[in-house]
Amino acid sequence: MSDNTPVAVPTPAFPGGTVLGYPRIGRMRELKKALESFWKGTTTEADLEATAKELRSVTRERMAGLGLAKDDSSIPSNFSFYDHVLDASVTFGAIPTRFARLRKDDGSVDLAGYSTIARGEGADAPLEMTKWFDSNYHYLVPEIGPETTFALSSTRWVDEFTEAKGAGYLTRPVITGPLTYLYLAKPSDDAPTGFAPIERLDDLLAVYVELLAAFKAAGAEWVQIDEPVLVADIDADRADVLANAEKVYAALAAAAERPQILVAAPMGSLEDALPVLAASGVEAVALDLVKGAVPEGVDLAGLTVVAGVVDGHNIWRTDADKALAKLEAVAALGGAVAVGTATSLFHVPHTLEGEEHLGEELLSWLSFADEKIGEVVTLATALREGEDAVADALAETRAALASRAAHPGTNRADVRDRLAAITPADRDRAAYPVREAAQHERFQLPELATTTIGSFPQTPEIRKSRAAWAKGEIDDAAYEAAMKAEIQSVVKLQEDLDLDVLVHGEAERNDMVQYFAELLDGFSVTKNGWVQSYGSRCTRPSILWGDVARPEPMTVRWAQYAQSLSDKPVKGMLTGPVTILAWSFVRDDQPLSVTADQVGLALRDEVTDLEDAGIGIIQVDEPALRELLPLRKRDQAAYLEWSVGSFRLSTAGAKDDTQVHTHLCYSEFGEIIDAIDGLDADVTSIEAARSRMEVLPAIRTHGYERQIGPGVWDIHSPRVPSTQEMTELLSLAKESIPGRQLWVNPDCGLKTRGYEETVASLENLIAATKAVR
């Protein structure tokens, strides 16, 4: 080595291409099945370990087969049994006091203990679950207090590296960074008021230093430390966040024994945090260049930049020309450039293999995790050897993109014309007092009217009928009859219980988004496109690829049938445009606002058809309204403007005496109260039981004039709340909101509940209402 080798160039260099992480659940959801049978007790801890080991082995082999090298740290080692943030908690020994019994002598927990922390046991609530940034993944919130003892308590991360090494793979361990870990944590129950977990940064840093040394000793050459918190505006002063970033990465860079460090910043732009990281002494930084822009005016000489030009959070084939242009722009900043994904690939399904039913053309526009690895490899080759080296792949990509742009389904004149003709008046209904009077006249509902959120238990029989129908084992008429029988029994039950506003129970819906996706133009549905939502739970998002239109009514015949069975109003039930977008993979070739309005128009027609069929109360659910809220405050107003606008477009065609309801699945209502007010629904139901009506005083202060249904029954567990308990909650609610504005309902839909607890809880809910009335 010559004397003038610049010291800043990492040795060995970062590989030319990599992905920030790979799906953990398994192509055939092997991990889900292994976890669930372990929890049921039909398999042992050793069985679960064996399945996980096999899955990690298959995963490494697959990534290598797709073109990532086995020996240069380009293959990430990011396995998790349940959640990567929980893994950090158990690795650092940060286990809440109520689970201290699960700790073994050496501080570690076994897989049974780990599962208990994730899922709770008896009176010991599990760690709280929250959305991971603006994705549909949920992590387990660490609980940190002044008393939390941080100590390296698990060898799993290092062992998994060693396991791979033993199999001939030099992988790159991926861990959650100290800033993200502590800023996402909440104060433990025993912490004094005003305590913030970030106060424990120094103590936690010491454990990271120890961990880095352990990776180094095991032979790791690179480690990836994820810090998505740096791309978000959080509840902490940005200057403090940056000061902490400087402190953390200077300290880790200065650690005596460590692998080289890649700090990854998925989900947005680092902005002012980039110069801080660049100056810290870490060797590499991964940037999200899909959500974030190529930085300008920073000198990155001496740093390796992993340019995240392949979208890890959505499923569209990468525009290789645009990606190459971004790579060039990054190279101009002076650092070494590697090709990467913008985020970990755990947000997308494993593979397009087996999805041939989507048709060759749509398939050619798509890229799931495995195909994305191929894209990274192609771009890295182009960067290293020139575009000629991958001319065929680039030509194929260009052809696919051209076919997507030219496809008539992505640009329908009928849809576009209607969209262009929308006026502001299309998003407005009559003033609320006018509607209220008309609705009161029509429905004569009592004070504290009772209702449910929509779904009733999805029994095994319902699922069996649907599966049999999908397989062609029963015909349409038989399926229809089975669903009608279910509706009939749900309506009868609600009449017997004496609820005021009924629902049909949603038996015919496999999922509140997919049901609509299957009936609307512009969507396709995968067979096996599962994505981890939390723990063993997966969702199968639909693909919204084209202009959205409604070929025919989607819910009317079910609603009409249900209404024919009762003199009481039965609510029509729709999923709102923002939620349909949030829980699908949405086209990226036009602003979300345009797509949302297309969905809004389709729903608007459904509302009219429901009205014409005699349905007087229509609920449009928007549980995901808050989920898509941008991570940066400055982007939030624009988001709320179009998201609220698309909801209003879907509902504002309703007549004055049609009562529009909406449902939002969370209680952190306070921070977007203006937006919720802006939805202009006549009745809004929210989650409130667990937080004991905490948000109602803020709603009163806000001057909210319409009606609200704060949930009095937490439906997330099988527990039956007593009449007494719900009476108290209702009395509490009445302290903030006058009775004529209040509704009584559960926190959310009942599809995951059983009938036994449903009937018992609803009986108590009605009894409590009658007591308080």
Active site amino acids: 716
**Residue 757 interacting entry, from Zn ion, ligand GLN, none, C-beta within 5 to 8 Å by type:** none
Residues 648, 93: Cα–Cα separation, whole Å: 48
DSSP 596-612: HHHHHHHHHHHHHHHHH
**Residues ≥6 apart with Cβ < 8 Å to 700:** 736, 737
CB of 750 to ligand GLN, least distance (A): 7
Runs of H (alpha helix) within 19-96: 30-40, 45-65, 84-92
List the end-to-end C-alpha distance of the chain, in Å, as a whole number. Answer: 85
Q: Is the dihedral of CA 482, 484, 490, 493 positive or negative?
A: negative
* 26-37 burial code (b ≥16 CB/10 A, e <16): bbebebbebbee
Per rule CB under 5 A, is residue 19 in the interface with Zn ion? no
User: Of the two residues 208 and 666, which places its CB atom closer to Zn ion in the complex?
Assistant: 666
User: Of the two residues 248 and 507, which places its CB atom closer to ligand GLN in the complex?
Assistant: 507
User: Of the two residues 180 and 685, which places its CB atom closer to ligand GLN in the complex?
Assistant: 685
Residues 726, 689: Cα–Cα separation, whole Å: 9
Rounded to the nearest 10 degrees, the angle between the axes of helix 755-772 and helix 476-497 is 40
Structure tokens given for 57: 């082995």
User: Of the two residues 195 and 515, which places its CB atom closer to ligand GLN in the complex?
Assistant: 515
Per rule CB under 5 A, is residue 512 in the interface with Zn ion? no
CB of 663 to Zn ion, least distance (A): 5
φ, ψ for residue 547, nearest 5 deg: -70, 140
**Residue 145 interacting entry, from ligand GLN, Zn ion, none, C-beta within 5 to 8 Å by type:** none
Provide the Cα torsion 356, 514, 367, 313; round to 10°. -170
Per rule CB under 5 A, is residue 142 in the interface with Zn ion? no
φ, ψ for residue 173, nearest 5 deg: -60, 140
The strand pair at 521-524 and 542-549 is best described as: antiparallel
Per rule CB under 5 A, is residue 665 in the interface with Zn ion? yes
**Residue 709 interacting entry, from ligand GLN, Zn ion, none, C-beta within 5 to 8 Å by type:** none
DSSP 531-586: EEEETTEEE--EEEEEEEE-SS-SSHHHHHHHHHT-SS-BEEEEE-HHHHHHTEEE
Given a contact cutoff of 8 angstroms between Cβ atoms, the answer to whether 343 and 312 are in contact is yes
**Residue 751 interacting entry, from Zn ion, ligand GLN, none, C-beta within 5 to 8 Å by type:** ligand GLN
Per rule CB under 5 A, is residue 748 in the interface with Zn ion? yes
**Residue 680 interacting entry, from ligand GLN, Zn ion, none, C-beta within 5 to 8 Å by type:** none
Question: Could you give the count of Cα atoms lying within 13 Å of 533 in the half-sphere of its Cβ?
Answer: 11
User: Of the two residues 154 and 458, which places its CB atom closer to ligand GLN in the complex?
Assistant: 458
CB of 681 to Zn ion, least distance (A): 14
User: Of the two residues 274 and 681, which places its CB atom closer to ligand GLN in the complex?
Assistant: 681
CB of 170 to ligand GLN, least distance (A): 44
* 340-358 burial code (b ≥16 CB/10 A, e <16): bbbbbbbbbbbbbeebeeb
User: Of the two residues 115 and 579, which places its CB atom closer to ligand GLN in the complex?
Assistant: 579
User: Of the two residues 317 and 661, which places its CB atom closer to ligand GLN in the complex?
Assistant: 661
DSSP 94-152: ---GGGGGG--TTS---HHHHHHHHH-BTTBPPPPEEE-TTSS-EEEPPEE-TTPPP--
Q: With CA atoms as reference, report the closest residue to 263 among 302, 272, 376, 248.
A: 248
- DSSP-derived letter for residue 418 is H
User: Of the two residues 758 and 764, which places its CB atom closer to ligand GLN in the complex?
Assistant: 758
Q: Which helix (H) or strand (E) holds 363?
A: helix 360-365
CB of 652 to ligand GLN, least distance (A): 21
CB of 596 to ligand GLN, least distance (A): 18
Residues 457, 537: Cα–Cα separation, whole Å: 18
CB of 692 to Zn ion, least distance (A): 18
**Residues ≥6 apart with Cβ < 8 Å to 151:** 92, 93, 107, 207
**Residue 621 interacting entry, from Zn ion, ligand GLN, none, C-beta within 5 to 8 Å by type:** ligand GLN
Given a contact cutoff of 8 angstroms between Cβ atoms, the answer to whether 562 and 504 are in contact is yes
| 3-state DSSP percent of the chain in helix, strand and coil, to 5 | 45, 15, 40
User: Of the two residues 578 and 601, which places its CB atom closer to Zn ion in the complex?
Assistant: 578
Candidate segments 112-120, 412-420, 622-630, 700-708, binder of Zn ion by CB under 5 A: 622-630
Neighbours of 755 (CB within 10 A): 13
Per rule CB under 5 A, is residue 620 in the interface with Zn ion? no
User: Of the two residues 142 and 623, which places its CB atom closer to Zn ion in the complex?
Assistant: 623
User: Of the two residues 736 and 758, which places its CB atom closer to ligand GLN in the complex?
Assistant: 758
Q: With CA atoms as reference, report the closest residue to 639 among 631, 630, 650.
A: 630
**Residue 455 interacting entry, from ligand GLN, Zn ion, none, C-beta within 5 to 8 Å by type:** ligand GLN
Output the residue with the shortest Cβ distance to ligand GLN. 749
Structure tokens given for 311: 């979208």
Candidate segments 114-122, 257-265, 387-395, 664-672, binder of Zn ion by CB under 5 A: 664-672
CB of 509 to ligand GLN, least distance (A): 8
How many residues interact with Zn ion (rule CB under 5 A)? 3
Amino acid at 735: E
For residue 276, what are the CA distances in angstroms to 133, 314, 341, 633?
22, 29, 22, 21
Residue with tokens 């509940």: 753
Amino acid at 729: L
The strand pair at 617-621 and 571-575 is best described as: parallel
CB of 694 to ligand GLN, least distance (A): 19
User: Of the two residues 77 and 452, which places its CB atom closer to ligand GLN in the complex?
Assistant: 452
CB of 347 to ligand GLN, least distance (A): 20
Give the residues lining the site for ligand GLN (CB under 6 A): 453-455, 506, 512, 573, 621, 623, 663, 665, 748-749, 751
- DSSP-derived letter for residue 520 is S
**Residues ≥6 apart with Cβ < 8 Å to 6:** 302
Candidate segments 31-39, 162-170, 665-673, 734-742, binder of Zn ion by CB under 5 A: 665-673
Among 15, 76, 623, 711, binds Zn ion (CB under 5 A): 623
**Residue 512 interacting entry, from Zn ion, ligand GLN, none, C-beta within 5 to 8 Å by type:** ligand GLN
User: Residues interacting with Zn ion, by CB under 5 A?
Assistant: 623, 665, 748
